Structure 1
Amino acid sequence: MENYRELINTYNKELNKIKFKHNIVSFLRIILIFTIIILIYCWFIKNESLIIYCTIICIVLFIPLLKIHDKLIWQKQLKNELIKINENEIMYLQKSKIPFKNGTEYIDQKHSYSFDLDLFGENSLYQHLNRCGTYIGEKKLSKILLSQYTKDEILENQQAISEMENNIIWRQKINAIANLTNDTKLNYEKLLSWKDNNKFQMSNFFVFISHFNPIALFTLIFIFLLTSNQASIYLISLLFTTNICILFFYYRKIKSQIHGFDKIHDIIQKYSYILEEIENQSFNSIKLNKLKNSLQQNQVFSSKKINDLSKLFQQLDSIDNVFGAILINGFFLYHIKIVKKINNWKHNYSSFIETWLDTIGELETINSFANMYHNNKDFIFPEINNDLIIRFDGIGHPLINNHKRVTNSIDFTNNKLVILTGSNMSGKSTFLRTLGINMVLAGIGSPICAKEANINPLRVLVSMRQNDSLNDSESYFFSEVKRLKSIIDDLEQNICFVLLDEILRGTNSDDKQIGTIGVIENLISKNAIGTIATHDLEVCETSIKYPNYLVNKCFEVEIINDHLLFDYKLKDGVCKNKSASFLMKKMNIIK
Structure 2
Amino acid sequence: MILMRIHSRLSFQRLLKKALLNINEDEISFLKREKIPFENGVEFQDLHHPYAYDLDIFGAHSLFQNLNRTATFIGKKTLAETLLHKATNDEILENQQAIKELTEKLDWRQEFLAFAKVSQDNQSSYEGLLKWSKNSGSTLSKSTIVLSYVSPALFFAAFLGYLITDNLVWVKCLSYLFIFNLIILGKFVKRIQLEIANSGKIDSIIHQYSLLVKKIESETFHSQKLIDLQQRLQFKSANASTHLKKLSELFSRMDTISNLITATLFNGTFLFNLHVLKALLEWKKEHAEVLEDWLMVIGEFEKLNSLANFSYNNPDFVFPTINSDYKIGFSNLSHPLLNPKTRIGNDVHFYPQSFMILTGSNMSGKSTFLRSLGINMVLVGTGSVVCATQADIHPLPVLVSMRLSDSLSDSESYFFAEIKRLKQIMDALEEQPAFVLLDEILRGTNSDDKRNGTIEVLKKVIAKKAIGAIATHDIEVCLTTNDYPGILSNNCFEVEIIDNDLHFDYKLREGICRNKSATFLMKKMEVI
Q: Show CA shifts across 1:361-413 (max 9, x none).
A: 00100000000000001010000001111110001100111012111111111
Secondary structure (helix, strand or coil) at the match of 2:379 reads: helix
Q: Structure 1 counterpart of 2:508, which letter?
A: L
Match of 1:472 among 410, 413, 434: 410
Q: Show CA shifts across 1:259-281 (max 9, x none).
A: 11230001000000011111111
Q: Show CA shifts across 1:236-276 (max 9, x none).
A: 01111111222222112111111112300010000000111
User: TM-score, length-normalised on structure 1?
Assistant: 0.88
Relative to structure 1, the CA distance from residue 580 to residue 262 in structure 2 (aligned partners, 3 Å threshold; closer, same or farther) is farther
- Between structure 1 and structure 2, the one with the greater Rg is 1
In structure 2, distance between residues paired with 1:483 and 1:196? 38
Aligned twin of 2:428: 490
In the TM superposition, residue 65 of structure 1 has moved relative to its aligned partner by 2.5
Secondary structure (helix, strand or coil) at the match of 1:95 reads: coil
Larger displacement relative to structure 2 (80-89 or 191-200): 191-200
Secondary structure (helix, strand or coil) at the match of 1:487 reads: helix
User: TM-score, length-normalised on structure 2?
Assistant: 0.98
CA contact (8 A) 1:417 1:549 kept: yes
Matched, 1:357 2:295: yes
Match of 1:534 among 472, 475, 487: 472
CA contact (8 A) 2:328 2:394 kept: yes
How many matched pairs? 528
Matched, 1:395 2:333: yes
Secondary structure (helix, strand or coil) at the match of 2:423 reads: helix
Q: Show CA shifts across 1:4-45 (max 9, x none).
A: xxxxxxxxxxxxxxxxxxxxxxxxxxxxxxxxxxxxxxxxxx
In structure 1, distance between residues paired with 2:143 and 2:227? 48
CA contact (8 A) 2:42 2:59 kept: yes
Q: Structure 2 counterpart of 1:150, which letter?
A: T
In structure 1, distance between residues paired with 2:305 and 2:228? 16
Secondary structure (helix, strand or coil) at the match of 1:557 reads: strand
Matched, 1:371 2:309: yes
Aligned twin of 2:450: 512
- Equivalences for residues 176-575 of structure 1 within 5 A: 176-197=114-135, 199=137, 201-575=139-513
Aligned twin of 2:520: 582
Larger displacement relative to structure 2 (467-476 or 147-156): 467-476
CA contact (8 A) 2:152 2:271 kept: yes
In the TM superposition, residue 447 of structure 1 has moved relative to its aligned partner by 0.5
Q: Which has the higher contact order (CA 8 A, sep 6+)?
A: 2
In the TM superposition, residue 64 of structure 1 has moved relative to its aligned partner by 2.5
Aligned twin of 1:55: none
CA contact (8 A) 1:543 1:552 kept: yes
Secondary structure (helix, strand or coil) at the match of 2:406 reads: coil
In the TM superposition, residue 206 of structure 1 has moved relative to its aligned partner by 2.8
In the TM superposition, residue 201 of structure 1 has moved relative to its aligned partner by 4.2
In the TM superposition, residue 209 of structure 1 has moved relative to its aligned partner by 2.1
Matched, 1:103 2:41: yes
Q: Show CA shifts across 1:303-329 (max 9, x none).
A: 000000000000101211111111111
In structure 2, distance between residues paired with 1:280 and 1:462? 43
CA contact (8 A) 1:502 1:534 kept: yes
What root-mean-square deviation, in Å, do the aligned CA atoms of Structure 1 and Structure 2 show? 1.1
In structure 2, distance between residues paired with 1:231 and 1:265? 42
Q: Show CA shifts across 1:452-481 (max 9, x none).
A: 010100111100011222222211111111
Q: Structure 1 counterpart of 2:149, which letter?
A: H
CA contact (8 A) 2:136 2:285 kept: no
CA contact (8 A) 1:136 1:358 kept: yes
In the TM superposition, residue 194 of structure 1 has moved relative to its aligned partner by 0.8
Q: Structure 2 counterpart of 1:193, which letter?
A: K
Secondary structure (helix, strand or coil) at the match of 2:332 reads: strand
In structure 2, distance between residues paired with 1:444 and 1:517? 33
Aligned twin of 1:11: none
Question: What 5-or-longer segments of structure 2 have no aligned partner?
Answer: none
- Identical counterparts, % of pairs: 50
Moved >3 Å (runs of 4+)? 198-205
CA contact (8 A) 1:107 1:120 kept: yes
In the TM superposition, residue 298 of structure 1 has moved relative to its aligned partner by 3.2
Aligned twin of 1:36: none
Larger displacement relative to structure 2 (378-387 or 516-525): 516-525
Matched, 1:161 2:99: yes
In the TM superposition, residue 208 of structure 1 has moved relative to its aligned partner by 2.3
In structure 2, distance between residues paired with 1:127 and 1:117? 13
Q: Show CA shifts across 1:489-515 (max 9, x none).
A: 211221111100000000000000000
Q: Structure 1 counterpart of 2:500, which letter?
A: D
Secondary structure (helix, strand or coil) at the match of 1:541 reads: helix
